[in-house]
Amino acid sequence: MPLSTNDLRNGMTLDLPEGLFSVVEFQHVKPGKGGAFVRTKLRNSRTKAVIERTFRADEKVEQAVIDKREMQYLYRDGDQYVFMDNVSYDQMNVDASSLGGAAPYLKEGDSAILQMYGGEIVDVDLPAAVELTVSETEPGIQGDRVSGARKPATLETGLVVQVPLFVNPGDRIKVDTRSGEYLTRA
């Protein structure tokens, strides 16, 4: 749906010829000479790259209406992740590539908000932190208490994170979904 650049707001999604972009920042500029314009910072929904773009004031851009659906991850079927819509109970098969960086944080039974545009997943909203079980790591050695020392641990989803030396296989840990870092034992 067409939208004037004068009506831009942070968080809006625009369907530009280069792809889908969300507005990170915008500024209306009215110079002494010449016409007013709008300076923006836009984040590509797929690549997450940020670009700067300037529009004329009152230029028309296409607003993308993003459908946010809360879905539960049921199971993995080969390269596909199977989700169930929490409202309609419809099941949907999703390619791992469509989930971007969210796939390693999903375990069966977890909920996620899938952002859809035209039947295509453009982004996945995860909770700020998830609890995952450590499936393998070197065992902690008694007396090995070097402050801040870390070791790699493989989690139940295949994600590898750096954890403190006291974490052992079978432990449940909290992982930050934005940075992929260990937070605490659960």
Query: pTM for the full model?
Result: 0.72
- Ranges for all domains in the chain classified under CATH 2.40.50.140: 67-125, 129-185
User: 147 or 81: whose pLDDT is higher?
Assistant: 81
Over the stretch 54-68, which tens digit does the pLDDT of each residue have?
998 888 999 988 888
Tell me the two tokens of residue 114.
Answer: 């899938």
Give whole-number Cα distances, 119 to 26, 166, 182, in Å.
28, 45, 34
Q: Comparing C-alpha atoms, which of 47, 45, 41, 5 is closest to residue 21?
A: 45
Backbone angles phi, psi at 55, to 5 degrees: -120, 150
Confidence of residue 79 (pLDDT cuts 50, 70, 90): confident
- pLDDT tens profile 88-121: 988 989 888 888 788 888 888 888 999 888 878 8
In sequence order, what are the residues at sequence separation of 6 or more whose Cβ sits closer than 8 angstroms to the Cβ of residue 145? 165
| Region 2-62: CATH code | 2.30.30.30
Topology given in CATH for the domain delimited by 129-185: OB fold (Dihydrolipoamide Acetyltransferase, E2P) (2.40.50)
Whether 149 has a pLDDT exceeding 90, the answer reads no
Q: Where in the chain is the domain with CATH 2.30.30.30?
A: 2-62
Give yes or no for residue 18 having a pLDDT over 90. Answer: no
* Per-residue confidence (pLDDT) for residue 185, from 0 to 100: 85
Q: Which DSSP state fits 63?
A: B
Q: Give 116: exposed, middle or buried? Use CB within 10 Å, 0-12, 13-18, 19+.
A: middle
Residue 52 has pLDDT above 90, yes or no: yes
Q: What is the DSSP letter of 29?
A: E
Question: Cα–Cα distance between 153 and 186 in angstroms, integer?
Answer: 15
Between 16 and 141, the more confident residue is 16
Which class is domain 67-125?
A: mainly beta
